[in-house]
Amino acid sequence: MEQTSGLTLRLGISSDDSLLSLLLYEGILRMLRGSPAKYNYNELVFDRSDAIQNAFRVFKEDTGERWGELLDNLNQITTDINSWPSIARYFKRIGVDCKEFLEDYLAYCESRSRGKNDKCQDNAERIKVYCGLSEGKASNKLVLPLGLVFKHTYKAFSSQQATGITGVINLEPVYSKGEIIIDKEAAGKNERISFGLLKTDRYTGLNLWEFNRIDQQTTLYVSWRAFTIFLLGIAGSYVRSGYQNEHLLLFYKPEYLSSYMTGRASNIDPEFTGRLIQGKRTASDSLQEIYNYTNMPEILSLALYTLPSLRALLTEQEDFNELSFNIVIIKYEKMYKRYSGWTVELSRQDPLDKVARSMGSTAAAKSSFKQAVADSVTCPESPLLQAIGRWMSLREPDSHKALNSLIQLYRFYMTGSPSYFYDYVRSMYEAMEKCESSEEARGCRWRAMQYRKLLLCMGWIGSDKCSRELQLCDRQKGT
């Protein structure tokens, strides 16, 4: 049923692990954070005509002081070289001031080229032509940092400069003449948008099997309305860039969000959705720290398994029985390609609880024990992370013992077997011994003290009393 005052999303997109599905569902989550909605037979109905505007406004409110950092991070993702004409038409449609965008672009170029913006002048002319600021012909090849695109899109929608998006957005992918199009009815030939990140799945085939084209490269196009949801999804999932053009993204699993919407069909409350957003934000923070040292899936997963704030969300909120995430690493090699992707599922029952019960008689002792385990994985001062080195250099005397300790902890969370937890702590103890007997770098002696703090808090070396001086992370900062 068509609507004129509100907005309806038809969820024809599969709730699978393709990047296409992940980005769309992340964008939908951000819309649910901005406005109440009702779910009915694969349709989300927003009564408010400003649902998109609210999604952007609340997005910035939730991001808070990290807004500038987010935009800088998003600038590490770029469009491909043929996107500019369609992005320019998108800007015109939503009311972006192209002169302001041009100024921002030149400032960005100058900062990236160390004060010299002469290399950007040709690009500036292309922007002027396609924005209608000057006449003539220009190449459509222009690489745009996504942070600038998101910044100006946010400004247009949050200031209500852009016309509200109403009616029906059909998110079902339609195969037509060798292309896949999202929201085909609104994707006119001159307004279809495709850029590098949207082409990632054509290398995996995950979203092409239903069209019997899993072995062929197929370009995905979206309407300007669907592109707006994709932008919310990209900004909401991006964690950080890494070594050699890698990019780390974090999502809730689409099946999990689909189940969440179905379970709260008549009343999807923005405040409740906000708790999901906050949980993912703290998860992203922990992933950021570990990603300084490794892209190893098992160790990155530990950030979520051990994070106290996520465990608190499961135990304190009756509505949360589980949390289900997708972690994705993409890499730019002339095109964006999915480097790896995996699932992390947290149930309400924490396997660490069984071990904690044997570590002390008081609630405070158990809490300190569990916090020490989390600190060993998520703290910048963790000797385990410091020992494996930035991007797994493994050059220090204790490196291999530290790596084995983290691997054993991952196995413990996978199986629940206490024997793996014992191996985790024993390997940490052996790493400490390596450093204590080493005559090498001063950093190793510092790590020996950090190991000892953790082991004291875990009761391994004769104590179950964990004073504030022994804690690695500053609790006041929530780390």
Distances in Å between the alpha carbon of 71 and those of 67, 74, 136, 229? Answer: 6, 5, 32, 17
Lowest model confidence (mean pLDDT) among 176-185, 241-250, 427-436: 176-185
Query: Is residue 214 predicted with pLDDT exceeding 60?
Result: no
Q: Which of 180-189, 328-337, 341-350 has the highest mean pLDDT?
A: 341-350
In order of 37, 61, 377, 456, 471, the CA distances from 465 in angstroms are 49, 40, 20, 7, 11
Most confidently predicted of 159-168, 270-279, 404-413: 404-413
Structure confidence at residue 118 (pLDDT): 62
454 neighbors 424 (Cβ within 8 angstroms): no
Domain ranges of the chain: 7-238, 351-479
Q: Which residue has the tokens 């993702």?
A: 77
Predicted local distance difference test score (pLDDT) of residue 2:
42
Q: Which one is predicted more confidently, 142 or 253?
A: 253
Question: How large is the average pLDDT for residues 147-158?
Answer: 93
207 pLDDT band, cuts 50/70/90, is: very low
* Residue of higher predicted confidence among 37 and 202: 37
pLDDT at residue 428 is higher than 50: yes
Please, what is the angle between helix 19-34 and helix 51-63, to 10°? Answer: 90
Task: Return d(Cα 210, Cα 322) in angstroms, integer.
Answer: 30
Percent of the chain with pLDDT over 90: 40
State which of 28-37, 179-188, 455-464 shows the largest mean pLDDT: 28-37
- Per the CB < 8 A criterion, the answer to whether 229 and 27 are in contact is yes
Other Cβ atoms less than 10 A from the Cβ of 140: the count is 14
* Mean pLDDT lowest among 70-79, 119-128, 238-247, 375-384: 119-128
pTM > 0.75: yes or no: yes
Which residue, 364, 276, 353, is CA-closest to 319? 276
pLDDT digits (tens, 9 = 90+) for 253-271: 999 999 888 888 788 989 8
Residue 376's pLDDT is 93
Distance (Å, whole) CA 322 – CA 255: 12
pLDDT at position 211 over 80: no
Question: Per-residue pLDDT for 357 more than 90?
Answer: no
Say what the pLDDT of residue 479 is. Answer: 37
Across the range 460-475, mean pLDDT stands at 67
Average of per-residue pLDDT values in the chain: 84
Q: Give me 456's structure tokens.
A: 């004291």
Q: Residue 48 half-sphere exposure, CB side, CA atoms within 13 Å? A: 12
